[in-house]
Structure 1
């Protein structure tokens, strides 16, 4: 979850969220709002005839409304096994108005809170028990086993970006590919009961990608980063897992060049040195 966007975007999204509530016959509850990156999404708790839920509105320019990101949650609802805890999708609607397209999704309400609230980066160690970690490991194994034609990371991107952002000689061919959530960070995980949120971008990625991404977003909290390595070592401490870490470091260093995740640059480069020495 991110901060409220600039006023014009916030005003437009609130108006369209109200439209979505009317179309789906639900009523917003309270004043809580959950914003996505730069106001791309707005979500609120709602009351519905089928019970309390969570209404998520997605917005994009008309020429980009649709495709993989918009179909991801619906396809996850159809294909993900019960071992992967996630919000259940009840209904969805799409429409266009002016220069934007909109997707409204009504989910079952999740009562547990996300582990971080405004960003993917972890800044203090979460209090998570063995059941949570075991559930995460089981969920990652379940996701990896789902067959799909969806793609989260492309080999063409690795060929181009890894030499550019890592700055070391490297074989950019992924050792193995599996299905990944594709955006597994702390703002997409709940506790103390585990739920995996945000199923827009799931698809094929280098094996170990999800565990590597969560680890990278934890590097500012070494105890938790170490805990991830201990709990998910069967994924990370393999040739495929180490390659996945390099993929994630590539992606996040690229975001640094755009002005995002600046505080991660130092720990990412230190992790790159450790991986290169292995």
Structure 2
């Protein structure tokens, strides 16, 4: 097949590119140093092909090859071309119909019950990130489910597709809803909408810990920057409520 070079979309960290193809599909190209190809992320798209009941691009095939000149390994995945735009921002999110939310509910419910040995968010990592910011919190998760783990407006299409499946795996129940909630924090109404839509997960102990993790991440990012961010201030306010609720439980 041929790649449409004019259609290129670059990944955030400069190690991936995506292209439309002459076969009417989408190709994602990635390069990694040799020692990093043992990561589960390396085969995330291919492994996600086993998931049923989730609206996402279909995976077709992949190829890998070693590049001794650059001392990297390349991987290319061919997937279904999704022509609907990503939601992208909170203004667009506010216009999504109820049917979109219903579809997302159905996708996340199906994903949550999918059996997997992959780890999307470990207990150790969650504990480390929360306790770096908040002291004296019992961080033991009592419910786990399979999650996408990077569910934000840029990874959701306006037709309800969930894209970018590199990091999926087991995570605390409510992790995906909490991640989406964090990306909605700058808009109080949208944050409330996410909490309302996914209250069954977010009101559980694991769901509250998942939200507290997102608050800690937002606060840590602001600390590294040395200034507040659109996420950090609402995250601090939300964290106060979550901490009180977790300590009363």
TM-score normalised according to structure 1 size: 0.81
| Pairwise CA RMSD | 1.9
In the aligned structure 2, how far is the partner of 1:159 from the partner of 1:228? 24
- Name the structure 1 match of 2:144: 177
Question: Mind listing any 5+ residue stretches in structure 2 that lack a counterpart?
Answer: none
Counterpart among 206, 214, 228 of residue 248 in structure 1? 214
For residues 120-199 of structure 1, the aligned pairs below 5 Å read 122-126=89-93, 127-165=95-133, 167-191=134-158, 193-199=159-165
Distance 1:201 1:268, change over 3 A: same
Distance 1:258 1:101, change over 3 A: farther
User: Retained in 2: the 8 A contact 1:89–1:107?
Assistant: yes
Residue-pair matches, total = 241
Q: Over residues 150-203 of structure 1, what are the superposed CA-to-partner deviations in whole Å (9 max), with x where a residue is unaligned?
A: 0011111233232112x2320011121111111111111000x11000111111
Counterpart among 28, 31, 34 of residue 62 in structure 1? 34
In the aligned structure 2, how far is the partner of 1:256 from the partner of 1:277? 23
In the aligned structure 1, how far is the partner of 2:146 from the partner of 2:221? 23
Question: Mind listing any 5+ residue stretches in structure 1 that lack a counterpart?
Answer: 1-25, 117-121
- Name the structure 2 match of 1:27: 2
User: Retained in 1: the 8 A contact 2:141–2:205?
Assistant: no
User: Retained in 2: the 8 A contact 1:65–1:102?
Assistant: no
Q: Over residues 3-32 of structure 1, what are the superposed CA-to-partner deviations in whole Å (9 max), with x where a residue is unaligned?
A: xxxxxxxxxxxxxxxxxxxxxxx2223612
TM-score normalised according to structure 2 size: 0.90
For residues 79-118 of structure 1, the aligned pairs below 5 Å read 80-81=51-52, 83-97=53-67, 98-116=70-88
User: Retained in 1: the 8 A contact 2:66–2:72?
Assistant: yes
